[in-house]
Amino acid sequence: MTKAIYPDDKRKLVEDALYHFFPAKDRYPEIIYKAMRHSLFSGGKRFRSVLCLLTGEAFGAEIDEILPTACGLEYIHTYSLIHDDLPAIDNDDLRRGKPTCHVLFGEDIAILAGDALFAEAFYLIASSQTKVEAARILKVIEELAYASGVRGMVSGQVADLQSADKQVKTDILNFIHERKTGELITSAARAGAVIADASDTELEKVTRFAQQLGLAFQITDDILDVVGETDLLGKEVGSDERHNKATFPSLFGLDEAKRKAKEAVDNAINALIDMEVDTSSLVDLAWFVYNREH
Amino acid sequence: MTKAIYPDDKRKLVEDALYHFFPAKDRYPEIIYKAMRHSLFSGGKRFRSVLCLLTGEAFGAEIDEILPTACGLEYIHTYSLIHDDLPAIDNDDLRRGKPTCHVLFGEDIAILAGDALFAEAFYLIASSQTKVEAARILKVIEELAYASGVRGMVSGQVADLQSADKQVKTDILNFIHERKTGELITSAARAGAVIADASDTELEKVTRFAQQLGLAFQITDDILDVVGETDLLGKEVGSDERHNKATFPSLFGLDEAKRKAKEAVDNAINALIDMEVDTSSLVDLAWFVYNREH
């Protein structure tokens, strides 16, 4: 079984671009910039941005054509984490080994820091893409907004809230994961391909790849919450069980969950067969997801 | 002094378009659609959308080219009201004579209903504008995202929160109003003009008009909170005073506030002088703002 390492060179590119795009100096009122910065720069794999970069590059886009969208994805992901962690929602005090936004800055500022990051995502993508055809950027915005909206991330989060403390069935578990994390991961890969002007057939294959990659990502996330190490994860293991969350291990057991993750990775890699471009970096990313320890 | 009536024909167009664009049938999980619909269809003047329509029409755009953006503006405005009303922020139980979103649906669902409306705004604008050149729609999205973001609406809301229970100076009061309500009103007018492909000179005049109109709108809002009638306003008068909010009447007294509103309306109307297009509907709107009772 292939064990791939994470593309840290791409992560570094994203990290540098985030520092480049995010206002360097706090304006008035400073607290909101501090709160946004705290959550945006608290580490993390930058998985969605890296996936967007790798896909865009595979289809021939220049890195600086993809970076604003990649960073916008990171803004959207960070906003969703800030709001998920709120006392009224998941009530989590710790994220990536650091206090969550509302713990440090208060609930009001945390809500607004999330709101601001969401707005800045669209501002960044719409304003920084002069090299890419406007119609393609518009398509990227449409897809990211859809993935974040009521038929995407929000419906997944609401279904997740409604399922707490209940025994849910497989279809609800799938709904939650597809919407809550799957849609944005799929959009990340599609956005890269759209910026690179990939063909409809290529886009279909990328979509299938990313959907299965997202599924694998979610299953391994659930597994790590059971068997992972707190130090590596930056959050306490067992939090899903304490929150009575529906997960793959709770529904199917650890062994079957691991088998499903492998199946999803295989499906993801198979989706890329017969492509005319070099997709080896995407195959490596799929293997990383399967073998990841954090 | 001219007393203009509100352009209810335009308000009706917006109302119908909102029903057209908003999903007719609740999907799973239904509660989030109900929460969004409750706040989106709770009345209101649709001021930002109507301003966008009137400006777009004045510069020659077709109504159906402007409606998706006009409705997107209403989504953004509604989202900001839902989040402003939250217990962690302004903690308001009543809005337009009806219970606020979190009172009916809980804090978690209200946060997510706001998030969803914000996302759907960008989805609607990006996906429904096939008749308008993509670059112009991209510019509209850039401006609306900026106006809603950390240098716009969010910073105004944060400054407002920080000013509660304090005696603030005029520059802070202006900062709050420009960011919290002014920027989005200005973007609404500019969006209409951008869709209509107005020239840079025309855009400058529209900007000046809308900035002064937004100022007049805010001052009359503050005045109505002191002297208005609860039945007409749909919220209890005196709420600014109870929240210890900085307002124009609290800083300058009622008479001087009224004079400032008149000055802003005059400035707004003067900004439209020497335009080659018919701006009479915008002049009427400015007079409506000055004389409004709700």
A23-27, A177-181, A270-274: which range is least confident on average?
A23-27
List CB contacts (< 8 A) between A108 and chain B: 86, 88-89, 161
List CB contacts (< 8 A) between B134 and chain A: 133-135, 137-138
Tell me what pLDDT residue A241 has.
Answer: 75
- Give me the residue from B134, B148, B151 closest to A135, CB to CB: B134
List CB contacts (< 8 A) between A32 and chain B: 150, 154-155, 158
Sign of the dihedral defined by the CA atoms of residues A105, B39, B182, A139, in that order: positive
Tens digits of residue pLDDT in A45-98? 999 999 999 999 999 999 999 999 999 999 999 999 999 999 999 999 999 889
Kindly state the average pLDDT of the residues B51-73: 98
Tell me what pLDDT residue B236 has.
Answer: 64
- Domains of chain A and any CATH numbers: 8-291 (1.10.600.10)
Sign of the dihedral defined by the CA atoms of residues B157, B158, B164, B168, in that order: negative
Tell me what pLDDT residue B234 has.
Answer: 63
Tens digits of residue pLDDT in B216-246? 999 999 999 898 766 666 666 777 777 778 7
Across the interface, whether the CB atoms of A158 and B106 are under 8 A apart is answered: no
Tell me what pLDDT residue B122 has.
Answer: 98
pTM of the full structure? 0.96
Across the interface, whether the CB atoms of B29 and A135 are under 8 A apart is answered: no
Across the interface, whether the CB atoms of B146 and A137 are under 8 A apart is answered: no
Probe site for chain B from A90, A123, A132 (most B CB atoms < 10 A): A123
Tell me what pLDDT residue A232 has.
Answer: 61
Across the interface, whether the CB atoms of B123 and A107 are under 8 A apart is answered: no
Across the interface, whether the CB atoms of A149 and B33 are under 8 A apart is answered: no
A28-42, A235-249, A272-286, B184-198: which range is least confident on average?
A235-249
List CB contacts (< 8 A) between A138 and chain B: 126, 134, 137-138, 141
Across the interface, whether the CB atoms of B155 and A106 are under 8 A apart is answered: no
Tell me what pLDDT residue B246 has.
Answer: 79
Tens digits of residue pLDDT in B73-112? 999 999 999 999 999 999 999 998 899 999 999 999 999 9
3-state secondary structure B137-153: HHHHHHHHHHHHCCCCH
The DSSP code sequence of B158-173 is: HHHHHHTTS---HHHH
Q: Which chain B residue's Cα is nearest to A114?
A: B115
List CB contacts (< 8 A) between B144 and chain A: 122
Across the interface, whether the CB atoms of B27 and A157 are under 8 A apart is answered: no
Q: B208: how many CB neighbours lie within 10 A of its CB?
A: 16
Tens digits of residue pLDDT in A228-257? 766 666 666 777 777 778 789 989 999 999
Tell me what pLDDT residue B160 has.
Answer: 93
Across the interface, whether the CB atoms of A145 and B122 are under 8 A apart is answered: yes
Distances in whole angstroms, Cα of residue B53 to Cα of each of A74, B286, B290: 34, 15, 20
Tell me what pLDDT residue B231 has.
Answer: 61
- B29 contacts A162 by C-beta, under 8 angstroms: yes
Q: Please check the confidence at residue A36 and state whether its pLDDT lies above 70.
A: yes
Across the interface, whether the CB atoms of B150 and A106 are under 8 A apart is answered: no
Tell me what pLDDT residue A245 has.
Answer: 80
Tell me what pLDDT residue A219 has.
Answer: 95
Q: Please check the confidence at residue A110 and state whether its pLDDT lies above 90.
A: yes
- Spatial distance between the Cα atoms of A166 and B165, rounded to a whole number of angstroms: 44
Q: Please check the confidence at residue A1 and state whether its pLDDT lies above 60.
A: no
List CB contacts (< 8 A) between B92 and chain A: none
List CB contacts (< 8 A) between B31 and chain A: 158, 162
The DSSP code sequence of A107-168 is: HHHHHHHHHHHHHHHHHHHHHS-TTS-HHHHHHHHHHHHHHHSTTTHHHHHHHHHHHTTS--
Kindly state the average pLDDT of the residues A7-34: 93
Kindly state the average pLDDT of the residues B31-35: 97
- Give me the residue from B120, B126, B149 closest to A116, CB to CB: B149
Tens digits of residue pLDDT in B144-179? 999 999 999 999 999 999 988 788 889 999 999 999
ipTM, two decimals = 0.96
Across the interface, whether the CB atoms of B123 and A135 are under 8 A apart is answered: no
Distances in whole angstroms, Cα of residue B52 to Cα of each of A7, B41, B67, B119: 46, 19, 9, 20
Kindly state the average pLDDT of the residues A16-30: 90
Across the interface, whether the CB atoms of A119 and B152 are under 8 A apart is answered: yes
Tens digits of residue pLDDT in A116-172? 999 999 999 999 977 899 999 999 999 999 999 999 999 999 999 998 878 888 999
- Helices A107-127, A134-148: crossing angle, 10 deg rounding: 160
List CB contacts (< 8 A) between A161 and chain B: 108-109
Tens digits of residue pLDDT in B197-212? 999 999 999 999 999 9
- B11 contacts B50 by C-beta, under 8 angstroms: yes
The shortest C-alpha distance from A137 to chain B (Å) reads: 8
pLDDT band at B114 (very low <50, low <70, confident <90, very high): very high
Tell me what pLDDT residue A258 has.
Answer: 95
- B70 contacts B11 by C-beta, under 8 angstroms: no
H or E element at residue B199: none
Across the interface, whether the CB atoms of B118 and A119 are under 8 A apart is answered: yes
List CB contacts (< 8 A) between B118 and chain A: 115, 118-119
A-B interface: how many C-beta pairs under 8 angstroms? 161
List CB contacts (< 8 A) between A127 and chain B: 142, 146
Tokens of B88: 């962690």
Q: Which chain B residue's Cα is nearest to A82?
A: B111
Q: What is the rounded average pLDDT for all residues in chain B?
A: 93
Q: Please check the confidence at residue B2 and state whether its pLDDT lies above 70.
A: no
Can you tell me whether residue B43 is helix, strand or coil? coil
H-type alpha helices, A149-247: 153-163, 170-177, 183-195, 200-227, 230-233, 239-242
- Give me the residue from A88, A116, A150 closest to B111, CB to CB: A88
Tens digits of residue pLDDT in A161-212? 998 878 888 999 999 999 999 999 999 999 999 999 999 999 999 999 999 9
Diameter over CA atoms, chain A? 53
- Give me the residue from B111, B158, B159 closest to A89, CB to CB: B111
List CB contacts (< 8 A) between A33 and chain B: 150
Closest to A157 in 3D by CA, of A251, A81, A213: A81
Kindly state the average pLDDT of the residues B27-56: 96
- B252 contacts B263 by C-beta, under 8 angstroms: no
Instruction: Rounding to the nearest 10 degrees, give the CA dihedral for residues B209, B119, B160, B265.
Output: 10
Across the interface, whether the CB atoms of B119 and A88 are under 8 A apart is answered: no
